[in-house]
Amino acid sequence: MYMRRLLLQITLLVGVLFGGAPWGACAQEVEHDVAEPTAEEKLDVVGLIFDHINDSYSWHIATIDGHHVEIPLLCIVRSEEGRWYAFSAAKVAHGHSYEGFYVAPEGEKWEGKLVAVGSDGELYRPLDLSFTKNAAGLMINSLLLVAIILGVAGWYRRRNYDVHAVPRGFVGAVEMLTMSIEDDIIRPSVGKDYKRYSPYLLTAFYFIFVNNLMGLVPAFPGGANTTGNIAVTLVMALATMFAVNVFGNKEYWKEILWPDVPVWMKFPIPLMPVIELFGVISKPFALTVRLFANILAGHTVILALTCLVFISVSMGTTMNIVMTIFSVLLSVFMLVLEILVAYIQAYVFTMLSSVFVGLSRKEHHAAHKPKK
Amino acid sequence: MSLLTPDLGLLFWMLLSFLLVFGALAKFGFPIITGMVDKRRAHISEALLEADKARLKLESVEEDARRMMDEATRRSQELTATAVEESNRIVESARQRADEEVAQRMEAARNQIEIEKERALGELRTTVALLSVEVAEKVVRTSLADDKAALGLVERFVDEAEGEMGHSGK
């Protein structure tokens, strides 16, 4: 028992060296196990992973000696009667209820969400605009992003927009990244009036990139699974859909409603227009799911690999040591890979958005239109 | 499954933060960065063009200078050659003139000598004649009483002598 504890401390130390939040969550479970050896030895890995990748009302930072260190966030809900309530998440923590609102327990409907019992005795989900962990993460990441980009822009302003001032270091790196996106993706994909779309597409790229990277930081300001949440990616994809369809020109709509195919394919049964219209909807759907699924999968794999350490505790000391080394090596590999994926997914989202925008801005009908 | 159903609250917060970020960056962020890089690119290509132009100009100037140098060298070589020729010519002509002068002087000197010689010969002849006469007078006075006969004798002798001299002289 003593040996096992020592081993745990070592693995925890390794965990701490590589970060905090997800490991902290693991630690909580393990301490629980050690404290009650009679309880089930098996670690609830799935629950642990879902705790991380799902949104929550408070931001769990670490568990030290069974004590949860977490930031309760603001819950904002509207009850059935149309009244708005705003309260700290601490009021509804650990199964407590506040003004009839409580977090639905595990295994029940709307698990982990705020629910209330209506006047008819039925459980209902109130209109919930709570400032959740992901919302807070989005705000922090947004502030960081705005600070970085405005800081870089300020670098030029401080030099009076002098052409001879060439940035180095961090400012130079941001400039290089920005220009590589604009020159390699936006300009070739969008075409002539790319300058009009460039600010939106660059914002999309940086927003995703910063959120992806911050999601990989295990310690407090990072670690929120923002781009791995479907609501976040849905908003981004809808923004692209908006840019494509609102500013699409006549040629674009003609391609959809009256494409250049034999007449029998569009009249009397509008076969092609239906397929094309389906494409209009499927494009943002693909954008949404691709980004969300990639980031979610990355987080899940990293967490699962990390939990290997704690799962293998029950397999004996030797096995635990071997699995710990294996887990740390693989976790490092996965984190490095996820940094690459963070860039690639931001790149792919921006590239597809650029291509869709480019298709909606085509000047005249090309004989062989490129299939995307 | 809550993983696949977008949460309304998060949609709201996401929309809010994305719009705020987009508003801030699209207005004050990216246009400045890309604008500055475009400005710098324009400046660099302009500077390159100017440098090219300057280089071409420099090349033509260098070409001119080289041509001028070549010309100057050629001219100086020509001038040197001409000068050498001229000096040779001058030296030659001076030498010729000097030779002529010398020749003239020699000629004059020879003539003078000839004249002097003639004169000296004349004088000598007269002196010799007078001396001979005197000698002869004395000789004859002592041996001949008659002057006339004596003089005739002397003249004959002198003519004979003269004839001998003329023979040997010519």
| A239 or A108, greater pLDDT | A239
Percent of chain A with pLDDT over 70: 86
Which region among A133-147, A201-215, B17-31, B116-130 has the lowest average model confidence (pLDDT)? B116-130
Percent of chain A with pLDDT over 90: 38
pLDDT at A332 over 80: yes
Assigned token pair, B94: 């001076």
Whole-number pLDDT of residue A262: 80
Distance of alpha carbon A42 from the chain centroid: 29
The one-digit pLDDT tens for each residue of chain B (170 residues) are: 477 888 888 999 999 999 999 999 999 999 999 999 999 999 999 999 999 999 999 999 999 999 999 999 999 999 999 999 999 999 999 999 888 988 988 888 888 888 888 888 888 888 878 887 787 777 766 666 666 777 787 788 888 888 877 666 54
- Do A155 and A89 fall within a single domain? no
Contact A150 B26 (CB under 8 A): no
Q: What is the ipTM of this complex?
A: 0.81
**Residue at which a domain ends, from A128, A157, A187:** A128
Contact B14 A232 (CB under 8 A): yes
- Do A250 and A279 fall within a single domain? yes
- Do A226 and A326 fall within a single domain? yes
Whole-number pLDDT of residue B140: 64
pLDDT range class, residue A338, cuts 50, 70, 90: very high
Q: How many angstroms separate the CA of residue A123 from the nearest CA in chain B?
A: 17
Contacts of B1 in chain A (CB under 8 A): none
- Do A151 and A260 fall within a single domain? yes
- Do A194 and A107 fall within a single domain? no
Domain residues for A353?
A: 133-359
A45 falls within a domain: no
A53 falls within a domain: no
Q: Does B17 contact chain A (CB < 8 Å)? A: yes
What whole-number distance in Å separates Cα of residue A182 and Cα of residue A244?
A: 18
What whole-number distance in Å separates Cα of residue B6 and Cα of residue A118?
A: 23
Which residue from A minimizes the CA distance to B39?
Answer: A163
Instruction: Tally the domains of chain A.
Output: 3
Mutate to test the interface with A, among B5, B13, B28, B48 (most CBs of A within 10 A): B13
Q: Does B50 contact chain A (CB < 8 Å)? A: no
Report the range out of A20-34, A38-52, A173-187 with the highest average pLDDT. Answer: A173-187
- Do A287 and A304 fall within a single domain? yes
Q: pLDDT tens digit string along A97-117?
A: 888 888 888 778 888 888 888
A111 falls within a domain: yes
Whole-number pLDDT of residue B50: 96
- Do A74 and A205 fall within a single domain? no
What whole-number distance in Å separates Cα of residue B142 and Cα of residue A194?
A: 160
A344 falls within a domain: yes
Closest partner CB to B24 (pick from A111, A150, A231) = A150
Whole-number pLDDT of residue A26: 40
Contact B18 A130 (CB under 8 A): no
A139 falls within a domain: yes
- Do A166 and A302 fall within a single domain? yes
**Residue at which a domain ends, from A71, A102, A128:** A128
Mutate to test the interface with B, among A133, A146, A177 (most CBs of B within 10 A): A146
- Do A108 and A138 fall within a single domain? no
Which residue from B minimizes the CA distance to A297?
Answer: B3
Residue matched to tokens 């781009």:
A227
- Do A208 and A329 fall within a single domain? yes
Contacts of A52 in chain B (CB under 8 A): none
- Do A143 and A202 fall within a single domain? yes
Q: What are the helix (H) ranges across B25-146?
A: 30-143
Give me the DSSP letters along A181-226.
HIIIIIHHHH-TTHHHHHHHHHHHHHHHHHHHHHHH--STTS----
A368 falls within a domain: no
pLDDT range class, residue A270, cuts 50, 70, 90: confident
pLDDT range class, residue A64, cuts 50, 70, 90: confident
What whole-number distance in Å separates Cα of residue A104 and Cα of residue B41?
A: 59
**β-pair type (A114-117, A74-78):** unpaired
A48 falls within a domain: no
Q: Dihedrals φ, ψ of A345, to 5°?
A: -65, -40
What whole-number distance in Å separates Cα of residue A73 and Cα of residue A185?
A: 39
A52 falls within a domain: no
Q: pTM for this structure?
A: 0.73
- Do A76 and A138 fall within a single domain? no
